[in-house]
Structure 1
Amino acid sequence: MANPEECRTALEQLSQNLAKANGNVRSAASLDRSLSCRLTDLDLTFTGVLRDGRIQQVTQAPGAPTEKADIRLTMTSDDLVALVGGRLNFASAWAGGRVKLEAGIRDLLRLRTLL
């Protein structure tokens, strides 16, 4: 199980990866939406804002999110670290139920580029 600091580092790396992206990926990442990432094994939620192609204003709190974010991810800490590290494919993890993604239909259509 990854610890909270490793998860925060993974989210920072994801933010950096999004900021360096080009083309359709950059366009999909340029949403201005609230974001939450619930880590079930740590009973911890990271929240932030996806803005200008980066994840900004990241905070963490114990338990489930207190507010419903526009884009909601749920997974284990190890899966977060593996996804960002390129050792786990998002589409297969999502299809296999290891990762849960919830968002409005318009956001899902734009985010599919990132998958």
Structure 2
Amino acid sequence: MQILLADDDTATLNFLKHALQGDGHDVSVAEDGNVALEQLTAPGATFALLIADVDMPGLDGITLCQRAATFAADMPILLMSAHHAELERVNGLSNARYEFLLKPFALEDMRAAVQRLLS
């Protein structure tokens, strides 16, 4: 499955990319929300899942997901944040297929959320 992973933390980005690739997924990465939006709207883009950090420079993860929902309303979303207060903002998303992981999380929790959202 083609997954777009957006996070401004390079260590998290690389760790999750390698873990998801090890699970058989094709993973594209973006180090901020603007780059992720460009990848989502590129001609021929067919992402099955968007995984995004909430707190990124430029375009934050929630705004990214709101914009993505305008052209890919059925694409599931997995949001991550180290700030529990962001959960209230996430609850305002119109996309019915999303989950939220509070950082730090166990890799098993990430894998389980990806499986649920892709099934």
Q: Would you say same fold, with TM above 0.5?
A: no
Name which structure has the greater RCO, CA cutoff 8 Å, separation 6+: 1
The TM-score normalised by the length of structure 2 is: 0.33
The TM-score normalised by the length of structure 1 is: 0.33
Quick check: which one's strand share is greater?
Answer: 1
